[in-house]
Amino acid sequence: MAPDATARSYSEAYDLIKGCKDVDVLNTASAKVSLKAQARVPGAKRIPGSDIYATGKGRSFRAGGLLNMETKEIPTHAAKMKNMVTCGMRCTAIGSMHVIFALYGYSTFTWRWAAIGWFIFAFFGIVGITMGYHRMLTHKSFKTYKWLEYLIAFIGTQAGQGDPIEWVSTHRYHHLHTDTPLDPHSPYEGFWWSHLLWLTGTEHSLLDYANVPDLKNQLFYRVMEFTFFPLLFIVKPILMYKMGGMAQVCWTCAFPLVWGYHTTFLVNSASHIWGSRPYNTGDLSTNNIWVALLAFGEGWHNAHHAFPYSARHGLEWWEFDPTWYLICALKSLGLVWDVQVPSEKAKALKRNKPASAAAAAPVAEAEADTACGRDQDGKAANTSKEE
């Protein structure tokens, strides 16, 4: 389904779902919205160089999230409080790392420190985030030994992007509701919202983590939920300072985290705004070569949304995907197995047709007319199961 297969704009979908009391909506794929309808919304502003018209919604954790939906696993008031704490911790951690790097990066710079900082970023990023949090835990693209899974997940916590339960839950909701109001970071609310500002305004109903029972049932991940923050943002900087002063804090803590934040954030923002869409996903995801180069293959995001289960994101031979190369190396050593990739038939079925062929094909324009944007059977309109 192309993004224009329904007539509802993002803003209309937002107003429809706002205040919804049906808790099952959160865990049901949302109906896709229309690029063309969104472009006609009064006050919508075009993101430069793209076909996306954005309307900011002014969400804030202080208001508990403007959608004000019901929660499923924890009381709504507890979710609102958790939202304030979670967003406050995020802003404090991210902000403090930026401040430290801004204050000490120039005065302590040497090529040796820069190399050390980049290596730390690359190791935690490719092993912990792109391979671990994303392809292993979120999408289960491959299997490995439990001891190695836990080691990789712990490495992921050192990238400063949250504990595994929080990260995986957020990304699963992103895929379930891509570029609809329940997506945590759609560019339909603006580039800066999708890149960074969403961290200050997560919808509180997302924070009961109802979509990660596989991780919540494991003691290791429950412990990581409460220990990763003090270990990374308090204990580690203190130890680094004692070992080498502010230069060591700057280049072993602040620089790798700041660089890692923005490369990951670019996947959420740039890879839903600029680039190509070779596969029919029904959302804004794009293949963006420069994001792929910065983020270890994660920039082949349209391919990833077409085949979320795939351990390989760069599906063409020339598409640089070092995370995939690492998975292949581990597979050759017998450390991972059941590695998932789409078949050639599956890729052919998902590829966008040329404009002439697409114009000749009938387009189903089903619309979700009932409360909270679901169809009469209680399912989201215009959704289908991936092959």
> pLDDT per residue over 169-193, tens digit each?
999 999 999 999 999 999 999 999 9
pLDDT at 61: 58
Q: Between vectors from CA 32 to CA 26 and to CA 37, what angle results, nearest 5°?
A: 130
Percent of the chain with pLDDT over 70: 88
pLDDT at 373: 55
- Give the pLDDT band (50/70/90) at residue 384: very low
Q: Is residue 366 part of a domain?
A: no
Please list the alpha-helical segments (H only) found in the chain. Answer: 10-17, 35-39, 76-104, 111-123, 146-157, 164-176, 191-195, 213-216, 219-230, 236-249, 255-268, 289-294, 301-306, 322-332, 344-350, 355-360
Task: Give pLDDT tens digits for 206-250.
Answer: 888 989 999 999 999 999 999 999 999 999 999 999 999 999 999
Q: Is residue 225 part of a domain?
A: yes
Residue 385, pLDDT above cutoff 70: no
SS3 93: helix
Whole-Å CA distances, 96 to 237, 264, 276:
11, 18, 35
Region of 115 on the Ramachandran plot (φ > 0 left; ψ -120 to 50 alpha; else beta): alpha
Residue 387, pLDDT above cutoff 80: no
The candidate with the shortest Cα–Cα distance to 216, out of 163, 145, 178, is: 163
Q: Between vectors from CA 60 to CA 382 and to CA 231, what angle results, nearest 5°?
A: 100
pLDDT at 358: 42
Place of tokens 């619309």: 367
Whether 173 contacts 211, CB under 8 Å: yes
Number of domains in the chain: 1
pLDDT at 382: 36
Q: Is residue 379 part of a domain?
A: no
pLDDT at 386: 38
Residue 7, pLDDT above cutoff 80: no
Q: Is residue 360 part of a domain?
A: no
Top-confidence residue, 3 or 81? 81
SS3 218: coil
Q: Is residue 160 part of a domain?
A: yes
- Domain of 92 in residue numbering reads as 19-353
pLDDT at 60: 65
Q: Is residue 64 part of a domain?
A: yes
Q: How much is the average pLDDT of 301-320?
A: 98
pLDDT at 237: 97
Residue 85, pLDDT above cutoff 80: yes
pLDDT at 65: 54
Q: How much is the average pLDDT of 253-269?
A: 97
Task: Give pLDDT tens digits for 42-76.
Answer: 999 999 999 999 998 877 655 545 787 888 788 88
pLDDT at 285: 98
Whole-number Å distance between alpha carbons of 313 and 306? 10
Whether 50 contacts 273, CB under 8 Å: yes
- Give the pLDDT band (50/70/90) at residue 26: confident
Task: Give pLDDT tens digits for 143-154.
Answer: 999 999 999 999
Q: In this structure, what token pair is assigned to residue 237?
A: 């900087």
Lowest-pLDDT choice from 147-161, 277-291, 355-369: 355-369
Q: Is residue 382 part of a domain?
A: no
Whether 134 contacts 191, CB under 8 Å: no
The candidate with the shortest Cα–Cα distance to 37, out of 2, 72, 78, is: 2
Q: How many helices (H) and strands (E) does the chain have?
A: 16, 4
Q: Is residue 361 part of a domain?
A: no
Q: How much is the average pLDDT of 3-20?
A: 80
The candidate with the shortest Cα–Cα distance to 278, out of 293, 300, 295, is: 300
Q: How much is the average pLDDT of 286-315?
A: 98
pLDDT at 372: 62
Task: Give pLDDT tens digits for 122-137.
Answer: 999 999 999 999 999 9
Q: Identify the DSSP state of 63.
A: G
